[in-house]
Amino acid sequence: LIAVLASNKQQPQQESPTASSVPSLQPSSSSVPSLQPSSSSMPSSVPSSEREFALNILSDVSDVSLLRDNTTPQGKAFEWILDTDPLRLAPADGSFIQRFVLAVLYFSTGGGSWDTCNAPINVNSLSDCGLFFRIGSAWLTNSPECDWSGISCGDGVTRIDLRGNGLSGTIPSELQHLADLEWLRLFSN
């Protein structure tokens, strides 16, 4: 529209407007796209699938390239929470990010090779395990993540105590997204 008005200004002025130089308010059959808003109530950037929606939500927590690479701890946690996790949380669930972050911690620190509380082969198993003073369920089970051994919660995860459990690897930066975390004990690993 601005280009049309600008091109009209460049043309010599005529004394009286003609039908060809006055913009029409009537709809045309032109192939030029309309400037009218669409009637859709959904923004065009809304993901089309739950996987894309989860990827979008978790892109604020982990780098998308790591989420898409199933050889990284982030990619393993992404695949687990979407495809294997027996709780099948929706990405919009308040615990989704917290559960994902703890899964990243598990995969980043050699989960599966820990001394105790590894994810069982049967994810629906409620196998109990204990770390020092805290007995809970094994990690990556159908238990809420606040029931996993070594995890304490209030409104969110407040304490992680996995000391002396044979962890190896790196502490993932995703832990910064556990807003209520006050205590992290990982010594003697």
Q: pLDDT tens, position by position, for the chain (189 residues)?
A: 233 223 333 444 444 444 444 444 444 444 444 444 433 333 333 345 889 999 999 999 999 999 999 999 999 999 999 999 999 999 999 999 999 999 999 999 999 999 988 898 776 665 667 655 567 889 999 899 999 999 999 999 999 999 999 999 999 999 999 999 999 999 999
0.75 surpassed by pTM: no
Q: What confidence score (pLDDT) does residue 82 get?
A: 95
Q: What confidence score (pLDDT) does residue 160 get?
A: 96
CA 74, 124, 109 angle in degrees (round to 5)?
Answer: 30
Where does the chain show beta strands of DSSP type E? 128-131, 134-137, 151-153, 157-161, 183-185
Nearest to 177 by CA among 78, 88, 59, 69: 59
Q: What confidence score (pLDDT) does residue 111 get?
A: 96
Q: What confidence score (pLDDT) does residue 48 get?
A: 52
